Amino acid sequence: MRYLAAYLLCTLGGKTNPTAEDIEKVLSSVGIDADKQRIKLVLEKLKGKNVEEVIAQGSKKLAALPAAGPAAPAAGATPTVVKDDKPAAKEEAKKEEKKGKDKEEEEDDDMGFGLFD
């Protein structure tokens, strides 16, 4: 995905046909070691294609996929209300979470130097 993103960034920068060096330059600018085989694969797949057309075709394919959301309730169905019988457990979990944060802060204080030393 990062190789494709680098290719697209190159095209946004004005290069109609980015080279492997262009993609490597983009990736190295953000500290990623480029894999030449993956760059070669991206260049082969996109060779001679218009990026805007490829994006449009991909968007059509994504639109055809079903949504991954939950099914809608049937018309006239009454929603079920779930009551939480354990509010005390939530409070205890919050207290323990705060204690964990305090320990982390204490560990930071023991680094051996202060902010203004």
Query: H helices within the chain, ranges in order?
Result: 2-12, 20-29, 36-46, 51-64, 87-109
pLDDT of residue 16: 86
Percent of the chain with pLDDT over 70: 57
Residues of the chain above pLDDT 90, percent = 38
The pLDDT score that the predictor gives to residue 43 is: 93
Work out the mean pLDDT of the chain and round it to a whole number.
Answer: 77
Within a 10 A sphere around the Cβ of 68, how many other Cβ atoms?
A: 5
CATH code for the part of the protein at 2-64 = 1.10.10.1410
